[in-house]
Amino acid sequence: MVINCEKNFDIKKLTSFKIGGRINEVFLPENIDEFSQILDENPDIKVFGNLSNTLISDDGYSGKIILTKNMNSIRIENNSIIADCGVKGPQLSQTACENNLAGLEFMIGFPGSVGGEVYMNASANSQAISDRLNYAICYSKNEGIMKLYNKEMEFQYRSSRCQKENLVVLQACFELEYSDRFAIQKRMNENLNFRKVHQPSLVLPNCGSIFKNPAGDSAGRLLDSVGAKNMISGGVRVWEHHANFIVNDRAGSSLDVLNLMFEMYSKVKENYGIELEPEIRFLGGNNKKENELCKILYKK
């Protein structure tokens, strides 16, 4: 089969941060069969979805990656909705609503796609992926295509079995409940209004929460207490309304973001002895300073 592949790919416009250089080779599969073929031929390739939680180096990446954004089919089976990994959260939430299915209202404000949201057990407004997932179709380097039911996913806060075993989510089935469409839409509107108050709009390029919440505490609270809202690095800054968000409102660079992340991380470690763990992913490797910062921030 012929699979869409682009070389020397300029990825900047696709990232939520609006930051990033050129990628040597990018594969754009449209279904599970194409995805599996790419993985079989390139077993160590890196996989990305909607790039909503990814910082890509301005110096680019010299390897190959898969972008799953074209894997975007949705189908309804009774009270279940089955979505490919590239389907965006708001589209899935709206489709459920149009079919009088409740349970995915919290996804209406998510900028990411289904694959990443299942992978990290995304949550908001007291709802989580783990509440509604029936099963996920995943790819394992060792075992190929796997079907994992909810209990097999080992869901925890912002984590799943996928992270532990480096599994790629290709498709997800959610079991929902029939409900009144207007009541569903009302909850979606409430969630959107909450997000507008507590998180920056993508009009201000950002990648969502920068650090995960440590056990029993809030990364935003810790960062606020050490004065993070006043921190600036080059063309990026910490959002004035929430200390766990970085916005790129002055054409900042990838190094600007990593420098700011390091300053935020260092202040919390200095004051509380807590080492915050990044929630956003980083793709790079060609910049010495960035590599040094990532060894500290990402422990690798």
Average pLDDT value over all residues in the chain: 94
Of 22, 158, 161, 281, the active-site residue reads 158
Buried b (16+ CB within 10 A) or exposed e, 127-161: bbbbbbbebbbbbeeeeeebebebeebbbeebebb
In this predicted model, what pLDDT tens digit does every residue of 63-99 receive, in sequence order? Answer: 999 999 999 999 999 999 999 999 999 999 999 999 9
Q: What are the start and end residues of each CATH 3.90.78.10 domain in the chain?
A: 219-297
Give percent of the chain above pLDDT 90. 83
Residue 289 — pLDDT band, cuts 50, 70, 90?
A: very high
Question: Hey, what CATH class is 219-297 in?
Answer: alpha beta
Least confident span in 122-131, 162-171, 213-222 = 122-131
In this predicted model, what pLDDT tens digit does every residue of 16-28 receive, in sequence order? Answer: 999 999 999 999 9
**190 among known catalytic residues:** no
CB count within 10 Å of CB 25 equals 17
Residue 198: the pLDDT is 84
Q: What are the start and end residues of each CATH 3.30.465.10 domain in the chain?
A: 74-198
∠ at Cα 26 (23, 28), nearest 5°?
150
**158 among known catalytic residues:** yes
Q: Does residue 1 carry a pLDDT above 80? A: no
Query: What distance in Å separates the CA atoms of residue 283 and residue 49, rounded to the nearest whole number?
Result: 13
Residue 199: the pLDDT is 85
Query: What distance in Å separates the CA atoms of residue 235 and residue 89, rounded to the nearest whole number?
Result: 29
Q: Does residue 227 carry a pLDDT above 90? A: yes
CATH code, 74-198: 3.30.465.10
Name the burial class of residue 264, with classes exposed (0-12), middle (13-18) and buried (19+) by CB atoms within 10 angstroms of its CB: buried
Of the candidates 243, 179, 248, 182, the residue with the CA atom closest to the CA atom of residue 217: 243
Query: pTM to 2 decimals?
Result: 0.88
Buried b (16+ CB within 10 A) or exposed e, 44-74: eeebbbbbbbbbbbbbbbeebbbbbbebbee
Residue 14: the pLDDT is 94
Of 161, 181, 279, 281, the active-site residue reads 279
Of 123, 209, 233, 254, the active-site residue reads 209
Q: Does residue 202 carry a pLDDT above 80? A: no
Name the burial class of residue 79, with classes exposed (0-12), middle (13-18) and buried (19+) by CB atoms within 10 angstroms of its CB: middle
Query: What distance in Å separates the CA atoms of residue 15 and residue 4, rounded to the nearest whole number?
Result: 19
Give CA separation, 122 vs 27, 38, 212, in Å. Answer: 25, 27, 12
Give CA separation, 129 vs 119, 126, 167, in Å. Answer: 9, 11, 16
